[in-house]
Copies of this chain bind each other. A is one copy, B any other.
């Protein structure tokens, strides 16, 4: 069932501290898939041994702004004077190769992607409870109480946005959560709307009825 099949755009998103990154890593460690990580484009200069086209696509401010004008991003944002975004054409090229492109982004970015694409699969990674989220933010140990409180407030504003996603995966345990995401990917490929064309080819069926 994988021959010449278009890949899926998987948007993993959720509040800060929920463990999107660890779920994504666990997902990539699993077998039986052809996942790739979407590479962002940025105007910030490369750091250390960062490689263009691997860590980021490094472009000039002019180039980035030209792409914005040409609607060339699934989502983009500006942070401390630099642009960051997900280039449409790069993602599209990977999807055409049959790769599942995983986008791990903030809630606001996911909402932008939602508006730009019809065939993304939107997964909201949720904490098992507010307390669990708070504990995770504390455990990072790098932030002030004030920053943690700000993140919690932001998370609470983002919780209700879950209803705009296709799936909600509670990150109770990282392997479970990644397992659920993998099940979602498999199920999405079996969805009739996605598989009917191949099925038609396999069986030579006429759906003119």
A residues touching B (Cβ–Cβ < 8 Å)? Answer: 1, 123-124, 126-130, 159-160, 162-163, 165-170, 172, 179-180, 182-184, 186-188, 190-192, 195-196, 199, 202-207, 209
Known: A162-B196, A186-B183, A187-B184. A170 touches B1 (CB 8 A): yes
A186 to B196 CA separation, bound complex (whole angstroms): 21
> Smallest Cβ distance from A155 to chain B, in angstroms?
9
Give the chain B neighbours of A123 by CB distance below 8 A: 190
Copies in the complex: 2
Assess the A159–B124 pair: CB atoms within 8 A: no
Interface core residue of A172, A187, A195 (most chain B CB under 10 Å): A187
Give the chain B neighbours of A191 by CB distance below 8 A: 166-167
Assess the B166–A130 pair: CB atoms within 8 A: no
Q: List 9 contacting pairs A-B, 8 Å CB cutoff, sorted by A.
A: A1-B172, A160-B205, A165-B192, A166-B192, A167-B190, A168-B190, A168-B199, A170-B199, A182-B183
Give the chain B neighbours of A159 by CB distance below 8 A: 203, 205
Interface core residue of A130, A165, A203 (most chain B CB under 10 Å): A203
The 9 closest A-B pairs by CB, nearest first: A187-B187, A183-B186, A183-B183, A167-B190, A184-B187, A159-B205, A168-B195, A183-B187, A168-B199
> Smallest Cβ distance from A20 to chain B, in angstroms?
15
A163 to B159 CA separation, bound complex (whole angstroms): 35
The residue that A190 contacts in the complex, of B127, B163, B184, B190, with Cβ under 8 A, is B184
Give the chain B neighbours of A165 by CB distance below 8 A: 192
Assess the A207–B160 pair: CB atoms within 8 A: yes
A28 to B112 CA separation, bound complex (whole angstroms): 41
Assess the B168–A192 pair: CB atoms within 8 A: yes
A8 to B43 CA separation, bound complex (whole angstroms): 48
Assess the B160–A204 pair: CB atoms within 8 A: no
> Smallest Cβ distance from A150 to chain B, in angstroms?
18
Assess the A209–B168 pair: CB atoms within 8 A: no
Interface core residue of A179, A184, A202, A207 (most chain B CB under 10 Å): A202
